[in-house]
Structure 1
Amino acid sequence: MKLNSLGFPVEQTNELIKELNGLLSNFQVYYQNLRGLHWNIRGKRFFDLHLKFEELYNDSQLKIDLIAERVLTLGGTPLHTFSDYVANSKLRVGKDISNDVEAIELILESLSILLQIERSILNKASEINDEGTNSMMSDFISEQEKTNWMLKAWMEEDI
């Protein structure tokens, strides 16, 4: 079995890089959705949601950078074009959403998909003892589970 300079099996690392690039693509769509929600939200909850969406897109921007840097650390090339992002994303693009409930529903739907992808990456990284990727995914998962809980509370829904 051929190992890379980090001591990980090359073939499995390349699969992990592909999944991380998929996560990167999904996060880019999530980020852009959040920007659109931030700009277009209307109604009595405008001030609270406008700030919340800004908080979420700033957090996403940091995560995007971390994912891209992890791809580079593992020896890959991060995707970096809009066409790549759209082609590799599973998230629905939220266009012209100004209603508060629709906005939160889009975020919850997106978080659910992101969490599924992150758990898959966590499992694959565990198989090759990639603690760097595991740590990053664990952090993302715990933060997004909390965000999911808070948004569900806002919607007055059960987890």
Structure 2
Amino acid sequence: MKNLNAIGLDTEKSNALAEKLNELLANYSIFYQNVRGYHWNIRGEKFFELHLKFEELYNDLLLKIDEIAERILTLGHSPNHSYSGYKKISEIKESSQVSDGLEAVNDILNSFKIIISFQRELLSLSADTNDEGTNALMSDYIRAQEKLVWMYSAYLQR
């Protein structure tokens, strides 16, 4: 029992989960800020449509950022919170000012690909750790995001 954390998970395995969750948090945070920029800077024919979709997306990303940080805390660790730190470990890179809707949607799809991949890794780690809380969170995220990938891809007529 002495190798278990406060919620009954193996300490070593939960340390690995918290580290991976911090990487996911970094990716979500950069993704969030990119989508805010798309929302602010979008121009052109589809402005009204995309402006609203990007706002919906960044609001959802903000909720997930908070949930991931709280999950890290639940595991007994501290969530990272500096953008300079996020930039060092995030696979998603900051986008420069993007005003073209198709370019923004392509960037969003690429970001989802990275995020979903991270979440699948976390599913495997959390299953190995018997961490149902992280497992359920990642499973819920993946299901919703796969649908968003389909919708954004349909927008691009892929």
What TM-score range do you get, normalising by the shorter chain?
Answer: over 0.9
Identity of aligned residues (%): 49
Instruction: Give the aligned partner of residue 155 of structure 1.
Output: 156
Q: Does 1:69 align with 2:70?
A: yes
Q: How many equivalent pairs are there?
A: 157
1:23 alignment counterpart: 24
Residue 4 (structure 1) shift? 1.1
- Show the counterpart of 1:122: 123
Name the residue aligned to 1:80.
Answer: 81
Query: Greater shift after overlay, 59-68 or 3-12?
Result: 3-12
Partner of 1:60: 61
Paired with 1:48 and 1:12, the residues of 2 have a C-alpha distance of 44
**Structure 2 CA distance for aligned equivalents of residues 18 and 7 of structure 1:** 18
- Amino acid corresponding to residue 117 of structure 1 in structure 2: F
How far apart, CA to CA, are the structure 2 residues paired with 1:84 and 1:123? 25
Within 1, Cα distance between the matches of 2:144 and 2:95? 22
Name structure 1 gaps, 5 residues minimum: none
In the alignment, the residues of structure 2 paired with residue 126 and residue 120 of structure 1 have an alpha-carbon distance, to the nearest angstrom, of 10
Tell me which residue corresponds to 1:45: 46
CA distance, structure 1, for counterparts of residue 42 and residue 21 of structure 2: 31
Q: Hey, what does 1:12 align to over in structure 2? A: 13
8 A contact 2:87–2:93 mirrored in 1: no
Which amino acid is the alignment partner of residue 8 of structure 1?
L
SS in 2 for 1:33: helix
- CA apart distance, 1:69: 0.2
**After TM superposition, which residue ranges in structure 1, 4 or more long, deviate above 2 angstroms?**
none
- Matched with 1:96 is 97
CA RMSD of aligned residues (A): 0.8
Query: TM-score, with normalisation over the residues of structure 2?
Result: 0.97
Q: CA deviation at 1:92?
A: 2.2
- Measure, in 2, the Cα distance between the counterparts of 1:53 and 1:27: 14
Unaligned runs of 5+ residues in structure 2 are none
